[in-house]
Amino acid sequence: MTPDPSRAPGIGGPIDPGALRADCARCAGLCCVVPAFSRSSDFAIDKPAGRPCPNLQRDCRCGIHSELEERGFHGCTVFDCLGAGQKIVQTVFAGRDWHDDPDAAAQMFAVFPVMRRLHELLWHVAEALALDLPTALRADLDLAATRIDALTRQTPEAIADVRPDDEFQAVNPLLQRASEHARSGARGADRRGAQLMGARLRGADLRGSSLRGARLVGADLRGADLRLADLTGADLRGADLRGADLSTALFLCQSQLDAARGDTSTHIPAGRVPPARWTRPAVAVRVDPPRRRRR
């Protein structure tokens, strides 16, 4: 294994946010090859798993990047590997290219979904560590980060054997404690897993609420106050966030924003960027599962 200089693991060591952001120039188009696509409002074509998308060029760039929406590949605009792609290519496989290395290709493709999930978990731990937490909880999260990071730096065979769901289960209590601590002064409602598809929540006071895993597909959240709301895994596809305040929302990732509607009046947390289409008029609302991004 080649050490990744972008990350300095160790007990108590910080998680480098840069290592949790996709760096497509250091990858090999893995998200354009590994998953299967089903023809839908998110993908204009069917594609079997492990076969390159026909729009993927030999240099691993997308040949239709500037017109993904118009060409029916909305799903590509909302996927985020959270740095898993370049970790696989640069760290686990030391820069090998799947194009001319069939053995490496099979292993890379097996590792990708596991690495993606482990990076998702690392991202959540990093978000928790950014909160003002008691020392003991912070130490437990540091240990978790070190352990997960170590899992991502094993041999390809060992990574493919990791069961990410087990890792999520192990770390989830720490994330919940971090969330509860951060929200302790806000007294929000517990709406974990709530079925709120299409709900009329315009102007709602959702401060400090737990909306973990809530289904908010197509919900009207215009002007809602979501400060300190825990949005872990909340499904925001097509939710209308215009005028909503998510400036201090917890565990709100970029792909959740990318899947929602919003505009320049939407307040988002530091470190996220407003999706480009939020500043363009009249975009279609899509509700198929968010899948993938290629730059």
Fill in the per-residue mask, 34 to 73: x = in contact with ligand SF4 (CB under 6 A), - = not in contact: -------------------x-xx-----x-x--------x
- Of the candidate spans 17-25, 199-207, 222-230, 272-280, the one that interacts with ligand SF4 by CB under 6 A turns out to be 17-25
Amino acid at 254: Q
CB of 42 vs ligand SF4, minimal distance in Å: 10
Q: Burial, 49: exposed, middle or buried (Cβ in 10 Å; 0-12, 13-18, 19+)? A: exposed
- Where does this chain touch ligand SF4 (CB under 6 A) — which range of 79-87, 98-106, 130-138, 267-275? 79-87
- Which residue of 81, 162, 175, 224 would you call a contact of ligand SF4, by CB under 6 A? 81
Applying CB under 6 A, the span of 24-32, 206-214, 218-226, 253-261 interacting with ligand SF4 comes to 24-32
20 or 241: whose CB is closer to ligand SF4? 20
Tell me: does residue 109 bind ligand SF4 (CB under 6 A).
Answer: no
- Give yes or no for a contact between 228 and 208, defined as CB atoms under 8 angstroms apart: yes
Nearest Cα to Cα of residue 285 among 78, 79, 53, 82: 78
Alpha helices in 198-253 (DSSP H): none
Which listed residue (15, 20, 32, 260) binds ligand SF4 by CB under 6 A? 32
Alpha carbon distance 290, 75 (integer Å): 6
State the sign of the Cα–Cα–Cα–Cα dihedral 182, 202, 271, 10: positive
Closest CA to 13 of 201, 105, 149: 149
Binding residues vs ligand SF4 (CB under 6 A): 22-24, 27, 29-32, 53, 55-56, 62, 64, 73, 76, 81, 85-86, 293-294
